[in-house]
Amino acid sequence: MDERAALALLEGELDPVGDDAAVVDGLIVTTDMLHERTDFPPGTSRYTAGWRSVGASLSDVAAMGAGATAAVAAYAAPEFVEDELLAFVRGARDVCELVDGEYVGGDLDGHEEFTVATTAIGRTDDPVPRSGARPGDVVCVTGTLGRSAAALELFRRGERETDPDARGRANELFRFEPRIAAGRALAPHATAMMDSSDGLARSLHQLTEASDCGFAIDGEAIPVDDAVRSVSETDREALERATTFGEDFELVATVPETALEAVRDAVDVPLSTIGTVLESDDGISLDGEPLADRGYTHGEG
């Protein structure tokens, strides 16, 4: 059973399940777990690991349109190495400070594999779910897509020692900015929103399930990051990576077309309009062709 099947199973036991974070009386709560084998390629610094682990949970807070309050992390490793532990905490603290949140500690444990469990909390009186997209809305994406796909390729090159600067560039790409400010700016206008941690294609399928809608996406409008273009042999390969790899932690939102100008004025990062919301019977298409449900899933394979 993979992650998606497990979530479907839990829908019968927990209500509600399906948004990026839970909402409890205006408090936004989310938790994530990352493992060295699946989430931190060889060459990932502990500073980057701290930043990325906590940043992943902060991204869920952003997807709900909330402000960041605080985060904690449980750090488990075969042994505690002073430089590694300090670097991790500094990365976690710095990403929190970037979005006006606070890193307030956590827990330590011994474990055979470096593993991190993080929890972030935020606040909003008007959270944005995944379930409100309506036909006629436009589909928007913050920032660019494909940074993490490019980073993984650079980590591989660094491991093969074919590029002495590859690991440094890869770590920089892995340290994303959680879109807290953009999420708050989008919130008054967005009808549905989530982050792109599972990839754009899978995010669209998840929004379809939640909102009972379809999408028509324009491939040329998808904001493909220059870094993934530089490690791809063709533009088609770069687009494929940007669309399906995931782990970019950008926001995917639907907004009424009439609100688009106000949204662009409010959001502090590049915002791309990549398509429109359709009726559910129309399905999901990319340049007129069906867009497969492909992306990152824990427990797959």
Residue 299: is its pLDDT beyond 60?
no
Residue 154 predicted with pLDDT over 70: yes
Q: Which of 127, 130, 140, 129 is nearest to 261 (CA)?
A: 140
Residue 40 clears pLDDT 50, i.e. is over it: yes
Whether the Cβ atoms of residue 35 and residue 113 lie closer than 8 Å to each other: yes
Domain limits, CATH 3.90.650.10, in the chain: 138-290
Annotated binding site for substrate: 39, 247, 296
Would you state the pLDDT for residue 258? 97
Judged on CB neighbours under 10 Å (0-12, 13-18, 19+), 126 is exposed
| Residue 121 in this model has a pLDDT that exceeds 70 | yes
Determine whether domain 138-290 maps to CATH 3.40.50.720.
Answer: no
Smallest CA-to-CA distance from 66 within 21, 15, 18 is with: 21
CA dihedral 233, 239, 241, 245 (to 10 degrees): 180
Please give the annotated binding residues for ATP, written as ranges.
106-107, 130, 197
- pLDDT band at residue 167 using 50, 70 and 90 as cut-offs: very high
- Find out whether 89 and 128 touch, Cβ atoms under 8 Å: no
Closest by CA position to 198, among listed 134, 152, 246, 141 = 246
Annotated binding site: 20, 30-32, 39, 60, 106-107, 130, 195, 197-198, 247, 296
Q: What is the mean pLDDT of the chain?
A: 94
User: Any bridge partners for residue 192, and if so which?
Assistant: 254
- pLDDT tens-place string over residues 240-262: 999 999 999 999 999 999 999 99
pLDDT at position 10 over 80: no
CA–CA gap between residue 134 and residue 256 (Å, rounded): 8
Q: pLDDT for 286-296, tens place per residue? A: 999 999 999 86
Q: Is residue 16 very low, low, confident or very high in pLDDT (cuts 50, 70, 90)?
A: low
Task: Using CB atoms within 10 Å of the CB of residue 82, give its burial: 0 to 12 exposed, 13 to 18 middle, 19+ buried.
Answer: exposed
Binding residues for Mg(2+): 20, 30-32, 60, 107, 195, 198
User: pLDDT tens digits for 206-239?
Assistant: 999 999 999 999 999 999 999 999 999 999 999 9
pLDDT at 12: 67
Edge-to-edge strand ranges of the sheet holding 284-286:
192-195, 251-255, 138-142, 271-279, 213-217, 284-286, 289-290
- pTM passes above 0.75: yes
Residues 70-93 pLDDT 10s:
999 999 999 999 999 999 999 999
pLDDT the model gives residue 9? 74
Domain with CATH 3.30.1330.10 in the chain: 20-123
Question: Domain spanning 20-123 has what CATH number?
Answer: 3.30.1330.10
Can you point out the beta strands (E) in 201-287? 213-217, 251-255, 271-279, 284-286
